[in-house]
Chains A and B, each alone.
Chain A
Amino acid sequence: MGRPHHLVEDQLFDCYTAERAGEPLDPRSAEHLADCGECGDRYSELSRFMDGLRTEADAETDALFPSDRQDAQRLSIMRRIEHLGHAARVITFPGRLVTQQMGKSLRLRVSPWAATAAAACLFVGVAVGMFYDGRNHRPQFSTARVVPNPTAPQATAGIGPAPIALDTETFLTELERALGGPQTPELMTLDVLTPHVREIAFDAR
Protein backbone atom coordinates (compact mmCIF):
# COMPACT_ATOMS: atom_id res chain seq x y z
CA MET A 1 0.00 0.00 0.00
CA GLY A 2 1.25 3.42 -0.93
CA ARG A 3 5.00 4.03 -1.02
CA PRO A 4 7.10 1.63 -3.14
CA HIS A 5 10.28 0.10 -1.66
CA HIS A 6 13.12 2.10 -3.08
CA LEU A 7 16.50 0.56 -3.65
CA VAL A 8 18.90 1.14 -0.80
CA GLU A 9 22.37 2.59 -1.43
CA ASP A 10 24.24 -0.70 -1.47
CA GLN A 11 21.77 -2.16 -3.96
CA LEU A 12 22.32 0.82 -6.18
CA PHE A 13 26.04 0.42 -5.80
CA ASP A 14 25.85 -3.27 -6.63
CA CYS A 15 24.01 -2.34 -9.81
CA TYR A 16 26.74 0.14 -10.67
CA THR A 17 29.53 -2.35 -9.97
CA ALA A 18 27.83 -5.06 -11.98
CA GLU A 19 27.24 -2.73 -14.90
CA ARG A 20 30.89 -1.64 -14.93
CA ALA A 21 32.14 -5.20 -14.74
CA GLY A 22 29.81 -6.22 -17.56
CA GLU A 23 27.94 -8.60 -15.31
CA PRO A 24 24.16 -8.99 -15.36
CA LEU A 25 22.24 -6.82 -12.86
CA ASP A 26 20.11 -8.32 -10.19
CA PRO A 27 16.75 -8.76 -12.06
CA ARG A 28 14.63 -7.25 -9.29
CA SER A 29 16.86 -4.21 -8.96
CA ALA A 30 17.00 -3.80 -12.72
CA GLU A 31 13.23 -3.97 -12.92
CA HIS A 32 12.83 -1.45 -10.15
CA LEU A 33 15.34 0.93 -11.71
CA ALA A 34 13.45 0.79 -14.96
CA ASP A 35 10.14 1.60 -13.25
CA CYS A 36 11.09 4.01 -10.46
CA GLY A 37 12.12 7.48 -11.58
CA GLU A 38 13.42 8.46 -8.17
CA CYS A 39 15.74 5.46 -7.94
CA GLY A 40 16.73 6.02 -11.56
CA ASP A 41 17.78 9.55 -10.67
CA ARG A 42 19.72 8.35 -7.66
CA TYR A 43 21.41 5.73 -9.77
CA SER A 44 22.33 8.31 -12.39
CA GLU A 45 23.76 10.55 -9.71
CA LEU A 46 25.82 7.73 -8.25
CA SER A 47 27.06 6.72 -11.67
CA ARG A 48 27.97 10.31 -12.49
CA PHE A 49 29.95 10.66 -9.28
CA MET A 50 31.82 7.39 -9.71
CA ASP A 51 32.48 7.94 -13.40
CA GLY A 52 33.73 11.42 -12.56
CA LEU A 53 36.30 9.96 -10.19
CA ARG A 54 37.47 7.59 -12.86
CA THR A 55 37.60 10.25 -15.57
CA GLU A 56 39.59 12.47 -13.26
CA ALA A 57 42.07 9.68 -12.53
CA ASP A 58 42.43 8.88 -16.22
CA ALA A 59 43.03 12.51 -17.10
CA GLU A 60 45.58 12.89 -14.34
CA THR A 61 47.48 9.75 -15.30
CA ASP A 62 47.45 10.63 -18.99
CA ALA A 63 48.76 14.10 -18.21
CA LEU A 64 51.54 12.75 -16.01
CA PHE A 65 52.48 9.85 -18.24
CA PRO A 66 52.17 10.96 -21.83
CA SER A 67 52.97 8.47 -24.56
CA ASP A 68 56.63 9.50 -24.83
CA ARG A 69 57.15 8.91 -21.14
CA GLN A 70 55.43 5.55 -21.42
CA ASP A 71 57.72 4.68 -24.33
CA ALA A 72 60.74 5.65 -22.26
CA GLN A 73 59.48 3.55 -19.41
CA ARG A 74 58.94 0.57 -21.69
CA LEU A 75 62.48 0.91 -23.00
CA SER A 76 63.82 1.09 -19.50
CA ILE A 77 61.91 -2.05 -18.53
CA MET A 78 63.25 -3.90 -21.54
CA ARG A 79 66.79 -2.77 -20.77
CA ARG A 80 66.48 -3.99 -17.21
CA ILE A 81 65.10 -7.28 -18.41
CA GLU A 82 68.04 -7.74 -20.77
CA HIS A 83 70.38 -7.61 -17.81
CA LEU A 84 68.44 -10.18 -15.83
CA GLY A 85 70.34 -13.39 -15.29
CA HIS A 86 73.67 -11.78 -16.14
CA ALA A 87 76.11 -11.58 -13.30
CA ALA A 88 76.83 -8.06 -12.18
CA ARG A 89 79.92 -6.66 -13.87
CA VAL A 90 82.59 -5.90 -11.30
CA ILE A 91 85.09 -3.32 -12.38
CA THR A 92 88.39 -4.14 -10.73
CA PHE A 93 90.39 -1.35 -9.23
CA PRO A 94 93.41 -0.84 -11.49
CA GLY A 95 95.94 -1.39 -8.72
CA ARG A 96 98.54 -3.10 -10.89
CA LEU A 97 98.31 -0.36 -13.47
CA VAL A 98 98.69 2.36 -10.85
CA THR A 99 101.73 0.62 -9.33
CA GLN A 100 103.31 0.28 -12.75
CA GLN A 101 102.66 3.89 -13.54
CA MET A 102 103.98 5.09 -10.19
CA GLY A 103 107.09 2.93 -10.51
CA LYS A 104 107.69 4.14 -14.03
CA SER A 105 107.29 7.80 -13.13
CA LEU A 106 109.57 7.49 -10.09
CA ARG A 107 112.19 5.73 -12.16
CA LEU A 108 112.03 8.44 -14.73
CA ARG A 109 112.16 11.37 -12.37
CA VAL A 110 114.41 10.27 -9.51
CA SER A 111 117.51 8.35 -10.34
CA PRO A 112 119.53 6.95 -7.41
CA TRP A 113 122.50 9.35 -7.67
CA ALA A 114 120.19 12.37 -7.61
CA ALA A 115 118.45 11.10 -4.50
CA THR A 116 121.78 10.53 -2.76
CA ALA A 117 123.00 14.00 -3.68
CA ALA A 118 119.79 15.57 -2.38
CA ALA A 119 120.07 13.71 0.92
CA ALA A 120 123.73 14.72 1.30
CA CYS A 121 122.94 18.39 0.59
CA LEU A 122 120.16 18.33 3.10
CA PHE A 123 122.41 16.83 5.74
CA VAL A 124 125.19 19.39 5.10
CA GLY A 125 122.67 22.26 5.09
CA VAL A 126 121.15 21.24 8.40
CA ALA A 127 124.60 20.83 9.99
CA VAL A 128 125.81 24.23 8.81
CA GLY A 129 122.58 25.86 9.87
CA MET A 130 122.80 24.39 13.36
CA PHE A 131 126.39 25.50 13.68
CA TYR A 132 125.65 29.13 12.79
CA ASP A 133 122.47 29.20 14.77
CA GLY A 134 124.28 27.94 17.83
CA ARG A 135 126.98 30.58 17.52
CA ASN A 136 124.49 33.47 17.15
CA HIS A 137 121.99 32.59 19.81
CA ARG A 138 123.90 30.83 22.52
CA PRO A 139 124.68 33.99 24.59
CA GLN A 140 121.07 35.17 24.48
CA PHE A 141 119.66 31.87 25.64
CA SER A 142 122.24 31.67 28.34
CA THR A 143 120.83 34.83 29.94
CA ALA A 144 117.41 33.26 30.38
CA ARG A 145 117.17 31.80 33.80
CA VAL A 146 115.43 28.51 34.02
CA VAL A 147 113.61 28.45 37.31
CA PRO A 148 111.38 25.55 38.15
CA ASN A 149 107.87 26.70 38.95
CA PRO A 150 106.28 24.65 41.71
CA THR A 151 102.74 25.75 40.73
CA ALA A 152 103.05 24.79 37.11
CA PRO A 153 101.41 21.49 36.18
CA GLN A 154 103.96 18.75 35.77
CA ALA A 155 103.82 16.22 33.04
CA THR A 156 103.18 12.72 34.22
CA ALA A 157 106.41 10.80 34.45
CA GLY A 158 106.89 8.20 31.84
CA ILE A 159 104.48 9.74 29.37
CA GLY A 160 105.93 11.76 26.56
CA PRO A 161 109.16 13.76 26.57
CA ALA A 162 110.68 15.31 29.68
CA PRO A 163 108.95 18.56 30.69
CA ILE A 164 110.63 21.83 29.69
CA ALA A 165 110.95 23.86 32.85
CA LEU A 166 110.86 27.40 31.54
CA ASP A 167 109.88 30.38 33.63
CA THR A 168 106.75 31.70 32.00
CA GLU A 169 107.27 35.19 33.32
CA THR A 170 110.80 35.40 31.91
CA PHE A 171 109.73 33.97 28.60
CA LEU A 172 106.90 36.47 28.21
CA THR A 173 109.14 39.36 29.20
CA GLU A 174 111.63 38.33 26.56
CA LEU A 175 108.84 38.08 24.07
CA GLU A 176 107.50 41.53 24.85
CA ARG A 177 110.95 43.02 24.60
CA ALA A 178 111.43 41.38 21.25
CA LEU A 179 108.07 42.64 20.04
CA GLY A 180 108.89 46.17 21.21
CA GLY A 181 112.01 46.17 19.07
CA PRO A 182 112.32 48.31 15.94
CA GLN A 183 112.70 45.26 13.71
CA THR A 184 109.06 44.21 14.10
CA PRO A 185 106.89 47.27 13.39
CA GLU A 186 104.35 45.21 11.49
CA LEU A 187 103.58 43.25 14.65
CA MET A 188 102.89 46.36 16.73
CA THR A 189 99.20 46.47 15.85
CA LEU A 190 98.84 42.91 16.99
CA ASP A 191 100.72 43.74 20.13
CA VAL A 192 98.34 46.59 20.95
CA LEU A 193 95.38 44.28 20.57
CA THR A 194 96.85 41.54 22.70
CA PRO A 195 96.55 41.82 26.49
CA HIS A 196 99.91 41.85 28.25
CA VAL A 197 100.82 39.51 31.05
CA ARG A 198 101.40 42.39 33.42
CA GLU A 199 97.91 43.74 32.80
CA ILE A 200 96.37 40.34 33.37
CA ALA A 201 98.30 39.89 36.58
CA PHE A 202 97.20 43.37 37.76
CA ASP A 203 93.56 42.64 36.99
CA ALA A 204 93.77 39.37 38.81
CA ARG A 205 94.93 41.12 41.93
Chain B
Amino acid sequence: MNDRPIRRADAHGGTAGGPAPGPTTRRLAPPTSEDTELAVDIRSLLEGGAVDEARERFAELVSRHQRRALRIAYQYLRDAADADEAVQDAFVKVFAHIGSYREAWPFEVWFTRILINGCLDRRKARARRERWFTSSEESSPDETQSAFGGPTPLDPEARLLARERRARLAAAIDRLDGRQRTVFMLCHYGDCTPREVSAITGLNESTVRVHLFRAARKLRGLLGGKP
Protein backbone atom coordinates (compact mmCIF):
# COMPACT_ATOMS: atom_id res chain seq x y z
CA MET B 1 0.00 0.00 0.00
CA ASN B 2 1.31 3.38 -0.88
CA ASP B 3 -0.82 5.62 1.30
CA ARG B 4 1.49 8.48 2.02
CA PRO B 5 0.14 11.50 3.84
CA ILE B 6 -0.18 14.59 1.75
CA ARG B 7 2.33 17.22 2.81
CA ARG B 8 1.79 16.64 6.50
CA ALA B 9 3.18 20.01 7.59
CA ASP B 10 0.65 21.80 5.47
CA ALA B 11 -2.40 20.04 6.71
CA HIS B 12 -2.77 22.56 9.49
CA GLY B 13 -2.21 25.48 7.26
CA GLY B 14 1.52 25.28 6.72
CA THR B 15 4.24 27.11 8.42
CA ALA B 16 4.74 29.80 5.84
CA GLY B 17 1.29 30.89 4.97
CA GLY B 18 -0.61 27.95 3.62
CA PRO B 19 0.43 24.79 1.87
CA ALA B 20 3.85 24.67 0.37
CA PRO B 21 3.67 25.22 -3.34
CA GLY B 22 4.04 22.15 -5.49
CA PRO B 23 5.37 22.11 -9.00
CA THR B 24 2.10 23.40 -10.38
CA THR B 25 1.50 26.18 -7.88
CA ARG B 26 2.26 29.01 -10.22
CA ARG B 27 -0.16 27.70 -12.78
CA LEU B 28 -3.07 27.86 -10.42
CA ALA B 29 -5.55 30.56 -11.19
CA PRO B 30 -6.07 33.05 -8.39
CA PRO B 31 -8.90 31.77 -6.26
CA THR B 32 -12.08 33.71 -6.52
CA SER B 33 -14.50 31.07 -5.32
CA GLU B 34 -17.25 31.93 -2.88
CA ASP B 35 -15.91 29.35 -0.45
CA THR B 36 -12.54 31.00 -0.39
CA GLU B 37 -14.11 34.38 0.27
CA LEU B 38 -16.20 32.87 3.01
CA ALA B 39 -13.15 31.27 4.59
CA VAL B 40 -11.33 34.59 4.50
CA ASP B 41 -14.36 36.28 6.10
CA ILE B 42 -14.40 33.72 8.87
CA ARG B 43 -10.73 34.25 9.48
CA SER B 44 -11.23 38.02 9.68
CA LEU B 45 -14.18 37.62 12.03
CA LEU B 46 -12.18 35.41 14.32
CA GLU B 47 -9.29 37.82 14.28
CA GLY B 48 -11.72 40.59 15.19
CA GLY B 49 -13.11 38.56 18.07
CA ALA B 50 -16.57 38.03 16.52
CA VAL B 51 -16.57 34.34 17.34
CA ASP B 52 -20.31 33.78 17.22
CA GLU B 53 -20.64 35.31 13.80
CA ALA B 54 -17.63 33.34 12.61
CA ARG B 55 -19.32 30.16 13.77
CA GLU B 56 -22.48 31.04 11.91
CA ARG B 57 -20.57 31.60 8.72
CA PHE B 58 -18.64 28.44 9.26
CA ALA B 59 -21.89 26.47 9.49
CA GLU B 60 -22.61 27.70 5.98
CA LEU B 61 -19.24 26.46 4.82
CA VAL B 62 -19.88 23.09 6.44
CA SER B 63 -23.22 22.74 4.67
CA ARG B 64 -21.61 23.42 1.33
CA HIS B 65 -18.82 20.89 1.67
CA GLN B 66 -20.34 18.25 3.87
CA ARG B 67 -21.83 15.95 1.25
CA ARG B 68 -18.75 15.98 -0.90
CA ALA B 69 -16.55 15.40 2.14
CA LEU B 70 -18.67 12.47 3.22
CA ARG B 71 -18.49 10.95 -0.23
CA ILE B 72 -14.70 11.21 -0.33
CA ALA B 73 -14.25 9.96 3.22
CA TYR B 74 -16.63 7.05 2.82
CA GLN B 75 -15.10 5.95 -0.47
CA TYR B 76 -11.72 6.13 1.15
CA LEU B 77 -12.54 4.40 4.41
CA ARG B 78 -15.50 2.18 3.45
CA ASP B 79 -16.90 2.56 6.94
CA ALA B 80 -19.74 4.93 7.72
CA ALA B 81 -18.78 5.63 11.33
CA ASP B 82 -15.14 6.21 10.43
CA ALA B 83 -16.12 8.50 7.57
CA ASP B 84 -18.43 10.43 9.85
CA GLU B 85 -15.66 11.00 12.38
CA ALA B 86 -13.09 11.83 9.73
CA VAL B 87 -15.33 14.52 8.25
CA GLN B 88 -16.09 15.99 11.67
CA ASP B 89 -12.43 16.05 12.59
CA ALA B 90 -11.53 17.71 9.31
CA PHE B 91 -14.06 20.50 9.81
CA VAL B 92 -13.05 21.08 13.40
CA LYS B 93 -9.41 21.17 12.37
CA VAL B 94 -10.22 23.67 9.63
CA PHE B 95 -11.95 25.99 12.10
CA ALA B 96 -9.18 25.65 14.63
CA HIS B 97 -6.50 26.52 12.07
CA ILE B 98 -8.36 28.91 9.83
CA GLY B 99 -6.07 31.67 11.05
CA SER B 100 -3.28 30.11 9.03
CA TYR B 101 -5.36 29.77 5.86
CA ARG B 102 -4.07 31.85 2.97
CA GLU B 103 -6.30 32.73 0.08
CA ALA B 104 -3.55 31.99 -2.40
CA TRP B 105 -5.09 28.53 -2.35
CA PRO B 106 -8.71 27.66 -2.95
CA PHE B 107 -10.43 26.70 0.25
CA GLU B 108 -11.55 23.44 -1.32
CA VAL B 109 -7.98 22.39 -1.92
CA TRP B 110 -6.94 23.24 1.62
CA PHE B 111 -9.90 21.49 3.16
CA THR B 112 -9.59 18.40 0.97
CA ARG B 113 -5.97 18.05 1.88
CA ILE B 114 -6.83 18.08 5.58
CA LEU B 115 -9.61 15.58 5.02
CA ILE B 116 -7.49 13.18 2.98
CA ASN B 117 -4.70 13.27 5.54
CA GLY B 118 -7.22 12.40 8.23
CA CYS B 119 -8.52 9.52 6.15
CA LEU B 120 -5.00 8.24 5.54
CA ASP B 121 -4.29 8.34 9.27
CA ARG B 122 -7.44 6.39 9.95
CA ARG B 123 -6.63 3.78 7.34
CA LYS B 124 -3.21 3.38 8.87
CA ALA B 125 -4.65 3.06 12.36
CA ARG B 126 -7.16 0.51 11.15
CA ALA B 127 -4.46 -1.56 9.45
CA ARG B 128 -2.51 -1.52 12.71
CA ARG B 129 -5.56 -2.63 14.68
CA GLU B 130 -6.26 -5.42 12.24
CA ARG B 131 -2.70 -6.64 12.57
CA TRP B 132 -3.06 -7.11 16.32
CA PHE B 133 -6.69 -7.89 16.84
CA THR B 134 -9.18 -10.01 15.00
CA SER B 135 -11.13 -7.66 12.84
CA SER B 136 -14.70 -7.16 13.85
CA GLU B 137 -17.32 -7.78 11.24
CA GLU B 138 -17.95 -4.59 9.37
CA SER B 139 -21.46 -3.33 9.34
CA SER B 140 -22.94 -3.58 5.94
CA PRO B 141 -24.27 -0.41 4.34
CA ASP B 142 -27.80 -1.71 4.59
CA GLU B 143 -27.48 -2.40 8.30
CA THR B 144 -26.02 1.01 8.95
CA GLN B 145 -28.62 2.58 6.76
CA SER B 146 -31.47 0.98 8.64
CA ALA B 147 -29.81 1.88 11.92
CA PHE B 148 -29.91 5.51 10.95
CA GLY B 149 -33.40 5.30 9.57
CA GLY B 150 -32.46 6.03 5.99
CA PRO B 151 -34.57 5.06 3.04
CA THR B 152 -34.39 1.39 2.09
CA PRO B 153 -34.89 0.15 -1.43
CA LEU B 154 -38.08 -1.79 -1.78
CA ASP B 155 -36.83 -4.63 -3.91
CA PRO B 156 -34.62 -7.00 -1.88
CA GLU B 157 -33.09 -8.45 -5.03
CA ALA B 158 -32.12 -5.02 -6.29
CA ARG B 159 -30.70 -4.26 -2.87
CA LEU B 160 -28.64 -7.42 -2.90
CA LEU B 161 -27.37 -6.74 -6.40
CA ALA B 162 -26.46 -3.18 -5.47
CA ARG B 163 -24.61 -4.41 -2.42
CA GLU B 164 -22.65 -6.93 -4.48
CA ARG B 165 -21.86 -4.35 -7.11
CA ARG B 166 -20.61 -1.93 -4.47
CA ALA B 167 -18.55 -4.62 -2.81
CA ARG B 168 -16.92 -5.43 -6.13
CA LEU B 169 -16.26 -1.77 -6.80
CA ALA B 170 -14.80 -1.27 -3.34
CA ALA B 171 -12.56 -4.30 -3.78
CA ALA B 172 -11.43 -3.03 -7.16
CA ILE B 173 -10.64 0.44 -5.79
CA ASP B 174 -8.79 -1.16 -2.92
CA ARG B 175 -6.56 -2.93 -5.40
CA LEU B 176 -5.37 0.35 -6.87
CA ASP B 177 -1.97 1.65 -6.02
CA GLY B 178 -2.07 4.21 -3.17
CA ARG B 179 -1.44 7.23 -5.37
CA GLN B 180 -3.74 6.04 -8.10
CA ARG B 181 -6.46 5.56 -5.53
CA THR B 182 -6.00 9.01 -4.04
CA VAL B 183 -5.97 10.68 -7.43
CA PHE B 184 -8.98 8.72 -8.60
CA MET B 185 -10.92 9.46 -5.43
CA LEU B 186 -10.20 13.14 -5.57
CA CYS B 187 -10.99 13.50 -9.26
CA HIS B 188 -13.93 11.23 -9.54
CA TYR B 189 -15.56 11.43 -6.15
CA GLY B 190 -14.21 14.72 -4.92
CA ASP B 191 -14.99 16.65 -8.11
CA CYS B 192 -11.48 17.98 -8.25
CA THR B 193 -9.82 18.85 -11.51
CA PRO B 194 -6.40 17.32 -12.22
CA ARG B 195 -4.95 20.73 -11.48
CA GLU B 196 -6.57 20.84 -8.08
CA VAL B 197 -5.48 17.30 -7.35
CA SER B 198 -2.01 18.35 -8.31
CA ALA B 199 -2.24 21.16 -5.77
CA ILE B 200 -3.60 18.87 -3.10
CA THR B 201 -1.14 16.06 -3.56
CA GLY B 202 1.89 18.01 -4.68
CA LEU B 203 2.19 15.79 -7.75
CA ASN B 204 2.82 17.16 -11.19
CA GLU B 205 -0.39 17.76 -13.12
CA SER B 206 0.64 15.44 -15.94
CA THR B 207 1.52 12.77 -13.35
CA VAL B 208 -1.96 13.19 -11.91
CA ARG B 209 -3.45 12.63 -15.35
CA VAL B 210 -1.36 9.52 -15.84
CA HIS B 211 -2.39 8.13 -12.44
CA LEU B 212 -6.00 8.90 -13.15
CA PHE B 213 -5.92 7.22 -16.53
CA ARG B 214 -4.18 4.15 -15.16
CA ALA B 215 -6.62 3.91 -12.27
CA ALA B 216 -9.59 4.09 -14.62
CA ARG B 217 -8.06 1.53 -16.96
CA LYS B 218 -7.36 -0.85 -14.11
CA LEU B 219 -10.85 -0.43 -12.72
CA ARG B 220 -12.38 -1.13 -16.10
CA GLY B 221 -10.27 -4.25 -16.36
CA LEU B 222 -11.22 -5.40 -12.88
CA LEU B 223 -14.89 -4.60 -13.15
CA GLY B 224 -15.42 -6.20 -16.50
CA GLY B 225 -15.56 -3.06 -18.61
CA LYS B 226 -13.27 -2.79 -21.61
CA PRO B 227 -9.82 -1.57 -20.55
13 interchain pairs, CB-CB under 8 A: A10-B213, A17-B209, A45-B225, A49-B225, A53-B188, A61-B71, A64-B150, A65-B150, A69-B148, A74-B63, A77-B91, A78-B62, A81-B58
CB contact between A70 and one of B70, B74, B75, B194 (< 8 Å): that residue: B70
Shortest distance in angstroms between A131's beta carbon and chain B's nearest beta carbon? 65
Decide if B216 is an interface residue (CB 8 Å cutoff): yes
In the complex, which residues 70-88 of chain B have their Cβ closer than 8 Å to any Cβ of chain A? Answer: 70-71, 74-75, 80, 83-84, 87-88
Decide if B50 is an interface residue (CB 8 Å cutoff): no
Q: When the two chains form their complex, are residues B150 and A84 in contact, meaning their CB atoms are under 8 A apart?
A: no
Residues of chain A at the chain B interface (Cβ within 8 Å)? 9-10, 13-14, 17, 21, 23, 45-46, 49-50, 53-54, 56-61, 63-66, 68-70, 73-74, 76-78, 80-82, 84
Q: When the two chains form their complex, are residues B193 and A23 in contact, meaning their CB atoms are under 8 A apart?
A: yes
Q: Which residue of B lies closest to A64 (CB)?
A: B80
Tell me whether A57 and B209 are in contact in the complex, defined as CB-CB below 8 angstroms, given that A64-B141, A80-B92, A84-B95 are known contacts: no
Residues of chain B at the chain A interface (Cβ within 8 Å)? 55, 58-59, 62-63, 66-67, 70-71, 74-75, 80, 83-84, 87-88, 91-92, 95-96, 141, 144-145, 148-151, 162, 165-166, 169, 187-189, 193-194, 209, 212-213, 216-217, 219-220, 223, 225-227
CB contact between B151 and one of A56, A58, A63 (< 8 Å): that residue: A63
Q: When the two chains form their complex, are residues B188 and A54 in contact, meaning their CB atoms are under 8 A apart?
A: yes
Which residues from A are CB-within-8-Å of B74? 60-61, 64-65
